[in-house]
Amino acid sequence: MTALERTSQYVVWFIATFTVVFLMTPLVVTIAVSFGSSTVFTLPPPDWSLRWYERLAGMRGLLPALLVSLQVAAASTAVALVLGTLCAIALVRGRFPGRETISTFLVSPLMLPGLVIGIAMLQGFKAMGLRDVYASLLIAHVVITLPYIVRTVVGALSLFDFSLIDAARTLGCSYPAALTRVLVPALAPAFLTSGMFAFLASMDNYPISMFFTDAWTKTLPIQMLQYVEERPDPTIAAISAGLVLLAIVALVIGDRLVGLRKLADF
């Protein structure tokens, strides 16, 4: 190894370490504070304790908000999986003009400011006479989850060898059976990973949700921001630590199913 190569190795290590530390700081800080005994966010904490986790049970409005978020995320992801998969099949298998435009259109909600989308939908829903908070949240969140599904399922479908379905049919499978026994298992990793990340995107969404919540129906991020504004204490860090854990679980499953490198594809 030449001196130059060794130096460049050191440089790579230095930059990599700095980047990792910088990127992980907020997550590590959140978890450390949530297990600390200090009320004023002292780091490193003077003592470890679970008191903030014990206080979660007594937080007013936390459980209802968590339930609303879980339900909206699950339902909107389910709807997006159906709509998104059908559309992905059309985009990959279809031979019609404008497929490029359609796929850009479907992913576009990720590229526009959520706040503006939220305002436009708020006014649109008003004009359509939709007033129910829960239904509005659900309908709005499909727009958030759909891009994740379409992007991943289109990718997986374009790698799928459709002659396998013909092969299954030649071997005596009916068409629906060929779909459920050949196509669905092949796409399962794509469904799971895209579904998981769509679910998390819906769980974490703030700028769109804030236009559709009211005093009685709040999503978790909205409720959390209210806690932060009213009385910031490490209980919020305990909730955050739960959400970080959820993200870690998603990452581990995503890595098992499609691999880290694939998840980093842009």
Evaluate the CA torsion angle 145, 201, 216, 122 in order and state its sign. Answer: negative
Judged by beta carbon, residue 44 or residue 58, the one nearer another protein is: 44
> Rounded to the nearest whole angstrom, what is the least distance from the CB of residue 185 to another protein in the complex?
20
Judged by beta carbon, residue 62 or residue 243, the one nearer another protein is: 243
> Rounded to the nearest whole angstrom, what is the least distance from the CB of residue 24 to another protein in the complex?
5
Judged by beta carbon, residue 23 or residue 188, the one nearer another protein is: 23
Judged by beta carbon, residue 63 or residue 162, the one nearer another protein is: 162
> Rounded to the nearest whole angstrom, what is the least distance from the CB of residue 240 to another protein in the complex?
4
Torsion of CA 251, 254, 256, 261, to 10 degrees: -90
The letter for the amino acid at 8 is S
The answer to whether the beta carbons of residues 201 and 148 sit under 8 Å apart is: yes
Measuring CA to CA, which residue among 107, 76, 85, 80 is closest to residue 153?
Answer: 85
> Rounded to the nearest whole angstrom, what is the least distance from the CB of residue 161 to another protein in the complex?
13
Longest Cα separation, the chain: 72
> Rounded to the nearest whole angstrom, what is the least distance from the CB of residue 163 to another protein in the complex?
10
Classify residue 56 by burial, with Cβ atoms within 10 Å: 0-12, 13-18, 19+.
Answer: middle
Judged by beta carbon, residue 54 or residue 166, the one nearer another protein is: 166
